[in-house]
Structure 1
Amino acid sequence: MSQSVEFSTLPFASHFKLGVIRLASPRILNALNLEMIEAISKQLLVWQEDPAISAVWIEGAGEKAFCAGGNVVDVYRSLVEQHDNGLFSERYFGSEYQLDLLIQRYQKPVISWGHGYIMGGGMGLFMGGDYRVVMPSSRLAMPEIKIGLYPDVGASYFLNQLPEHYARFLALTAYQVNATDACELGLATHYVCDDAYTQVLQQLASGTIDNSERNQVAHHIERVLHGFTLADEVPLLRPELVSHDKALENLMSGDIVNIYQSMKQFQTDSSTLQAARDNFLKGSPLSACLILEQLNWGIGQTLESVFQRETVLSVNISVHGDFCEGVRALLVDKDQTPTWQHASVLEVPKETLHQYFAPRTARS
C-alpha cells in the first residue's frame, strides 16, 4: 500500500461493507502521484470482485482539500531532469486516465466526499462518483491553463455535459466553482454541511437492505444523503456563476480569437470573474487554442474515446507544449512569470494545432 493513500472498510447497512479510499497527503493537498494512482486502481479492482463490498467512498485527508490535482512536478522532472522524452509522462497520464475511467464505469456505487479544493486530477476522481457530495468549503476547478496543459482527466467529456459557455469558461479561466453552482450545473449531486461527515458515515452504516444488489445499495445511499441535503443548518451559498449567465454566454461565443478580444475588453465588479479573466489572459495561449479544439471535438464523444485522445494530447503537450514552462513558473521556481511560446492566441499558428492530437509515432 502506498503511504500516500489509505484503504479501509466501514460497516454499510449493518451487514455489508463500505470500501474507503483516503488520499493521505494533506501537506500537498492530496496531490496524486503515480504510486497512489496505481494503488487505488489495484484496490478498486479487488473490491469490485469482493461480494462483501457494497459501495466505495473516496475522501481526502486534512481540512483543505479532497484532491488539488495530479503531481505534475514528477512529470516535469522526468522531462527536464531525466530527459526521458515523455516516457514517464505517457505512463503517468495513461495510468491516471485508466483510473478515472475505472471509477466512471465502476460496477458498484461510488461516493465522492468533495470537501475543500477539488482541482485538476482531483476532478477526475470526483466526477467518476455516482454521488458527488459538496459542501460550503468545496471549490471545484480545472486550472490547467495556468500550467500550460488543458482540462484533462475526462473533462473533454464531463465539461461538455454543461451548456457550451460554461464548459468553455471553466476550461479557459481556472474559475473556482462553489457548492451551489456545482449543484446547479450538475457537477455535484448533493450539498451538505462540512461537519456532516461523521453522521453521514454513521447513517450509511445503520439501517438494513435485503441484499447488496446495486439498486438496493443505491436506494440506501440516496435516502441517507437526501436527508442531509434537507437539513436546516445547511448554509446556502450565493450562486456566483449562474447569476452571470448572459455575460458568460457573450464572453464565450465564437472562436478563440473572439473570446480573447471579448475577455480583453471585459469589465466587471465581480472579483471572482475578474480573477478568471486574469487567469485566461495570463495563461498559456497555446493551451487556450488547444482547449477550444479539444472541447469542440469532445462534443458527443464517449468516455473511452475521450480518454484515449486525452492521453495522446497530454503527452504531446508535456513534451512539446508550454507544460514544462508552466509547471516551472507555478510549482517549481514559483516565480509566477512563465515565458510562453506565444505572446497571445493571435500568434499561435492554427495549422500546427493538429500535431498535438496526433499519436507520437505519427508525428514528424
Structure 2
Amino acid sequence: MKKREIFAGAERMDSTSSSLIRVMLDKVRAMKDAGKTVIPLVAGEPDFNTPEPIKKATIAALEANFTHYGSNRGMPELREKISKILERDMGVHYDPATEILVTCGGAEAINNALLSTISAGDEVIIFSPAFVSYENLVHLAGGTVVSLPLKEENGFQIDLAETEAHITDRTRMIILNNPCNPTGVAYHREILEGLAKLACKYDLLVFSDEIYDRLTYDEPFCSMASFPGMRERALIMCGFSKTYAMTGWRLGYLAVDKRHMDYILKFHQYSSTCCPTFLQIGLANSVDLPETEAAVKEMQKKFKERRKLIMEQLDKIPQIHYVRPSGAFYVFIDVSDTGLSGQEFSERLLEEKLVGTVPGIGLGKECGDFVRLSYATSNENILEATNRMANFVKSLA
C-alpha cells in the first residue's frame, strides 16, 4: 500500500466538498474590502441585532462569573427553557435532564447526530436541493447518500411514492429540513404525516433540521416529532441563530428520545465538551421574557414583508421564475430562460452588477439552473439588488 502524501489529508476528506455558500461569501467580502458596493443576498443570516434582553442578561451572567465548565449536556437552566419551548411549539415533551443536548450552534448538532448514528454502508435519503452539510457528513460517516431530487413543477414538495421506492434494507435514515434551505418551501402537513408513516413502516430514523421553525408564513409549522411513532424515531435539531438573530453566538440543540442520547452525548464530549456557560445562562434568563418575544415577532413581521417585496420585484423579470417560498428567508430562482446556467448567472451578476447570490449547483447536483437568494436583508437592499438583477437580465438579450 502506497504511503499517503503528508499534505493530502485523510482519505475520507477526498469525498468532502467545500461549501459554495462560503466561497461566495468570501468573494463578496473581498470585493467589499476593495471598496466595491456589493449587495449580498448570500448568507442565511438575519440582519437584525440580537434582542436587547438577551444581550443584557448575558452580560450579567458574564459579570456573575459564569465562565467555567458547564455540563456536557448544557446548563440545566437552558435545557429547562428549551423543554418548555418545544412543548409549547410542538406539543411534545422532552425531559430536560436526559433528552436535550445544547450544542455549539446548529452545525455541531448536525455533526453530532449524523456522525454518531450513521455507520459505514448505511443508506441515507436526502431530498435535493439541500443544505450542504448533510451530504458531506453522510460521506464522512461512511454512509451512502440516496439523493431524491425535488421537482420545481411539484412545488419542491416531497413525493412519498418515490421516497418509498428508494427505501431498501440498508436504509438507516431520512434527512429532512423543514422549512427548506434553499427552496424556502415548508412541507405540507399531509406529506410530513406520510413521511412519518414510512419511517414507522420501515423502522427508520428521521433527522429533522427545524432551525426555521418560527419562520413560516402560509401555514403553521409542524414538527416531525409530533406525529404518532415519531418521538422515538425523530432526531430534532433546532437553535437560536435564525429566530433570535444570534448566528455568532453558536447555540443550538438536539432533542431526542433518551435512548439515543448516550451515543450522541459521547460524540459531543469529544467535539466541543460544552458551550460557553455565560451564553447559556444569559439566554436561559431572557429567552422567554415578553420583551424578547416582542422582538422576535417584529423580526417575523419584517421577514414576511421582505418576502412579499422580493417576490413583487422578481415577478417583474419575465426570464426568472420560482416556487413561492413559504418559510425561512430564501427564494430559489430558475434562471434557465436567461440562457445562463445558475453558476454563470451568479458569477456574472456578482462581477458585473455587484450582487452576491449562491449558485444552486452547490446545493444539489441537479440544480444547475438555479440560484439561491436570501432576503435576510433590508428593503433598500432588496430593491437595489433586484433592480440590478433586472438590468443584468436585460443586458443578456
Give the TM-score of the pair, scaled to structure 2.
0.27
Of structures 1 and 2, the one scoring higher in RCO (CA 8 A, sep 6+) is: 2
